[in-house]
Homo-oligomer: A and B are copies of this chain.
Amino acid sequence: MAYELFYWPSIQGRGEFVRLALEEAGEDYEDVARGPGGVDALMAALKEGPTPSFAPPFLRSEGMTIGQTAAILIYLGERHGLAPQDMAGRLWTHQLQLTIADLVGEAHDTHHPVGNSLYYEDQQEEARRRAGDFTAARIPKFFSYFGHVLGDKDYLLGAEITYADLSLFQTIEGLAYAFPQATGRALAQHPNLAALRQRVAERPRIAAYLSSTRRIPFNEEGIFRRYPELDS
């Protein structure tokens, strides 16, 4: 296998942004922790070697081990034409990715505002307050930004898809799963984002992936969790 991806085996999580890039590129990869003994292999690999990761996901390729989702996407973007080659285009794609990552981080924190070391059930009241702000103010603000950037183009940068489009697709999917009401309202305000979501979902390799068993369903262990009490 050209690529070994290390990520938690039962959630989409941040690993999904890497999976989508590999799938769109049509690359074979081993999703290591989903194989037998895989989580042990993940934990052993995490701190190994000269470039250890603070947390999954990380990717092995060409003798390198690359951690941090956005850094992995720089690498895959350059190798597989999922970002422009010129400096300005590379930076702009990455800027968009990092802004998407900010939105994803905020989505995560709606159910874990106090910290990851506690269960959701132990921070439910705080979660309700944070999710109220997120659905009322933050989703609309981020969608307004990305809707403005997209305009009437097919993809964020123009005619060609980049890893930022794949990541924005995944984020909209996740938000629509976790916050169907709030996300439905925001998409109705930004039909171009709804169209982008559809356009990415219909790309042949992405469509094949989404209907395969490689795509882990959304669930209440991942970043995007459907807790109806947090959606409004």
Contact = CB atoms under 8 A, between A and B. Distances in A.
Quickly give the copy total for this chain. Answer: 2
A212 to B, nearest CB: 29
Contact of A54 (B70, B99, B123): B99
A74 interface: yes
A134 to B, nearest CB: 7
Contact of A129 (B67, B114, B137): B114
Interface in A70-92: 70-71, 74-75, 78, 87-88, 91-92
Interface in A50-64: 51-54, 64
Contacts of A99: 54, 67-68
Interface in A27-77: 47, 51-54, 64, 66-68, 70-71, 74-75
A145 interface: yes
